[in-house]
């Protein structure tokens, strides 16, 4: 098992990325290929006491920034740490790839260089959301324009992912919609709902509203990338806003401060439970090899979790499960 | 000022509706028209010590349930408390109407009986969301299929509402989207963004993401009814889930319980701050006279707030402000 890592992608690269490697080392026995600017990598590694000689180190002369256009980056930054890493994955010189860089560029590069699995019409970005029970939102923002058939494939891929990675025998799949009835939604949701009802390869539980998803309605929440992104950002914003309000209230007076002190452990637990970095990164499902997007603001812990997730993704047979589902296998 | 009230609509009707009237009476000097089943109304009024003789009481022989189809209800339940009330509003026998009944039926009845304001192509349901600052989400779920022109009118109506009802001189209007850049969203958002940028009658601040909306990005958040509904339900679900988690944590052990006791006042304040019933009901904007939808599960306090809001809505000149904006007035 060889993991390829984009050391230059992300807001806190390369420091937190290499620290993430340091944290991941004792918890896995994978080999690492580190891709990035050789000078910066060796300076940073020295700083944190990481011996680079134990890894395969591949130089890359540029970096794709968060502001770069995805298509342009893919076309004209072939020498970037992200594209060099993806090319090695495509060439079979590694088994999984992790990057905290530009999401659009990673999605485009993965699609055109590593390529989609046979039969898969669109790859999609999955994100595990921690609520009453963890569930996979798919697509979280990559495909703005989709068809019911694409969404059906997202359902199959999401189901395969949760089955394999979370050991859920028959994951409940729901369609994000504005009501439970079959008539709800735009033409896209109405047609997709009909298609999913007829799909024997998954356990479809029907339309799911935004609030129900938080209370365990499904293990896989299927959406087009636009609606999925609205859902994801709104949930993140709501959690963050409530935690901020709580923090402000706790600071208001000495009694509240004392109360917070007593409640400290629970608060830390809650913060951890809602922290996306605890869940690793976002898998790009439908690509022929595992590609995992870590959050742009990832710290070392988030990178470590994304690395461990990518290794598990590569070793657990998610790809085979998806391929089987895409070929029309029964559940 | 005469307020017409659907006494039979809502999960807790007629009891909580009439209690709401009892609570509203000392806080306003409006006259009331109560519409509903005469027997049930008089029994319930007696129970809570409300003297019905001080009101105009109009009998209605049926009720529209939450399960009824909106169009069918409008066509075939003309004798329902909701439709009888709307007809009186349309006939000029009252100045505003409040109902906690079936949202779709209320929207349909308001559109076809009370009618839209001249020049307004679609009415929309607004909901005030309490976050870092309160903002109006419009449309919250009525119009699944819209055009950029409709959304432009939602922006004008929402701006007029927040200006008049919340005394905000130049409300910041944002478009709910999956990113800030002009290229973001589906064709609908891209075209609407261009249209709103050219609209001199409002202060348009651009595309707003779901998380930013929670932190004061705008006073009016414009969306099609599908996306608006996903936003609303996701935010509600997230808040409710976090408050539930907090409650569970507080019950875990005696120290946590003691901590909760110390923090009690703040917790109650937070709960109140996020309670939609504190903000009254949802105005249906674009209808020629004020129609306010109270939440289906409204208790007496929520009904009282919806009544006071409808009175303010009728008296404050929102309708004139919207009419002026619809005629193409500058801000």
- The pLDDT-based confidence of A303 (bands split at 50, 70, 90) is very high
CATH topology (fold) of A1-120+286-331: Isopropylmalate Dehydrogenase (3.40.718)
Interchain pair B245, A210: CB under 8 A: no
The region of weakest confidence among A106-110, A154-158, B64-68 is B64-68
The CATH number, out of the four listed (2.40.40.20, 3.20.20.140, 3.40.718.10, 3.40.50.720), of the domain defined by the range A125-279: 3.40.718.10
Interchain pair B178, A230: CB under 8 A: yes
Q: Does A245 touch chain B (CB under 8 A)?
A: yes
Which run of H or E residues covers position A75?
A: helix A70-76
Q: Does B191 touch chain A (CB under 8 A)?
A: no
pLDDT (average), residues B296-304: 93
pLDDT (average), residues A220-232: 97
| Distance from the A150 Cα atom to the nearest Cα atom in chain B, whole angstroms | 16
- Compare B27 and B320 and report the one with higher pLDDT: B27
CA distance B99 to B17: 9
Q: Does B11 touch chain A (CB under 8 A)?
A: no
Predicted confidence (pLDDT) at residue B324 exceeds the cutoff of 90 = no
Interchain pair B178, A233: CB under 8 A: yes
Instruction: Give me A276's structure tokens.
Output: 């996306």
- Compare A264 and A160 and report the one with higher pLDDT: A160
- The pLDDT-based confidence of B166 (bands split at 50, 70, 90) is very high
Q: What is the pLDDT of residue B277?
A: 66
Q: What is the pLDDT of residue A325?
A: 81
What's the complex ipTM? 0.93
Going from N- to C-terminal start, the domains of chain A cover 1-120+286-331, 125-279
**Three-state DSSP class for residue A131:** coil
Provide, as residue numbers in chain A, all residues whose Cβ is less than 8 Å from the Cβ of B186.
144-145, 226
- The pLDDT-based confidence of A46 (bands split at 50, 70, 90) is very high
The region of weakest confidence among A77-86, A123-132, A256-265, B180-189 is A256-265
Rounded to whole angstroms, the maximal C-alpha distance in chain B is 63
CA distance A143 to A153: 13
Average of per-residue pLDDT values in chain B: 93
CA distance B225 to B285: 13
Interchain pair B237, A210: CB under 8 A: yes
Interchain pair B233, A210: CB under 8 A: yes
Q: What is the pLDDT of residue B328?
A: 67
Interchain pair B230, A232: CB under 8 A: no
Q: What is the pLDDT of residue A276?
A: 66
- Compare A11 and B328 and report the one with higher pLDDT: A11
| Distance from the A275 Cα atom to the nearest Cα atom in chain B, whole angstroms | 13
Predicted confidence (pLDDT) at residue B276 exceeds the cutoff of 80 = no
Predicted confidence (pLDDT) at residue B331 exceeds the cutoff of 60 = no
Interchain pair B249, A231: CB under 8 A: no
Q: What is the pLDDT of residue B329?
A: 53
Nearest to A234 among B189, B210, B242 (CB): B210
- The pLDDT-based confidence of A309 (bands split at 50, 70, 90) is very high
Strands (E), chain A: 2-6, 31-36, 56-59, 96-99, 124-129, 135-138, 172-176, 203-208, 220-222, 282-285, 291-293
Q: What is the pLDDT of residue A272?
A: 76
Instruction: Enumerate the β-bridge partners of residue B136.
Output: B128, B220
| Distance from the B138 Cα atom to the nearest Cα atom in chain A, whole angstroms | 15
Q: Indicate the class that CATH gives domain B126-277.
A: alpha beta
pLDDT (average), residues B253-270: 84
**Three-state DSSP class for residue A41:** helix
Q: What is the pLDDT of residue B176?
A: 98
Q: What is the pLDDT of residue A246?
A: 87
CA distance A95 to A320: 14
Average of per-residue pLDDT values in chain A: 93
Q: What is the pLDDT of residue A109?
A: 97
CA distance B122 to B74: 17
Nearest to B186 among A141, A226, A249 (CB): A226
Interchain pair A263, B240: CB under 8 A: no
């Amino acid at each position: 098992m060889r993991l390829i890592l984009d050391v230059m992608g992300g807001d806190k690269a390369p420091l937190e990325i290499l620290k993430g490697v340091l944290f991941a080392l004792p918890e896995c026995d994978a080999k690492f290929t580190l891709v990035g600017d050789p000078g910066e990598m060796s300076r940073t590694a020295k700083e944190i006491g990481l011996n680079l000689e134990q890894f395969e180190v591949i130089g890359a002369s540029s970096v794709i920034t968060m502001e770069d256009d995805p298509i342009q980056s893919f076309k004209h930054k072939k020498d970037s740490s992200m594209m060099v890493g993806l090319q090695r994955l495509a060439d079979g010189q590694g088994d999984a790839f992790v990057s905290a860089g530009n999401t659009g560029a990673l999605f485009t590069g993965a699609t055109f260089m590593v390529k989609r699995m046979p039969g898969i019409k669109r790859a999609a970005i999955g994100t595990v959301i921690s609520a009453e029970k963890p569930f996979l939102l798919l697509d979280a923002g990559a495909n703005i324009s989709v068809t019911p058939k694409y969404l059906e494939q997202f359902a199959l891929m999401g189901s395969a992912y949760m089955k394999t990675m979370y050991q859920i025998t028959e994951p409940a799949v729901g369609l994000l919609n504005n009501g439970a009835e079959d008539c709800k939604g735009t033409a896209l949701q109405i047609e997709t709902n009909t298609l999913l009802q007829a799909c024997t390869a998954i356990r479809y539980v029907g339309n799911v509203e935004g609030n129900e998803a938080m209370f365990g309605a499904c293990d896989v929440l299927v959406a087009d990338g636009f609606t999925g992104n609205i859902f994801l950002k709104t949930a993140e914003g709501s959690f963050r806003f409530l935690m901020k309000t709580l923090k402000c209230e706790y600071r208001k007076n000495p009694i509240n401060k004392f109360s917070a002190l007593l409640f400290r452990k629970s608060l830390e637990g809650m913060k951890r439970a809602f922290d996306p970095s605890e869940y690793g990164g976002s898998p790009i499902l439908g690509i022929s090899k595992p590609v995992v997007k870590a959050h742009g603001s990832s710290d070392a812990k988030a990178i470590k979790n994304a690395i461990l997730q990518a290794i598990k993704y590569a070793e657990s047979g998610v790809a085979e499960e998806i391929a089987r589902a895409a070929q029309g296998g029964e559940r």
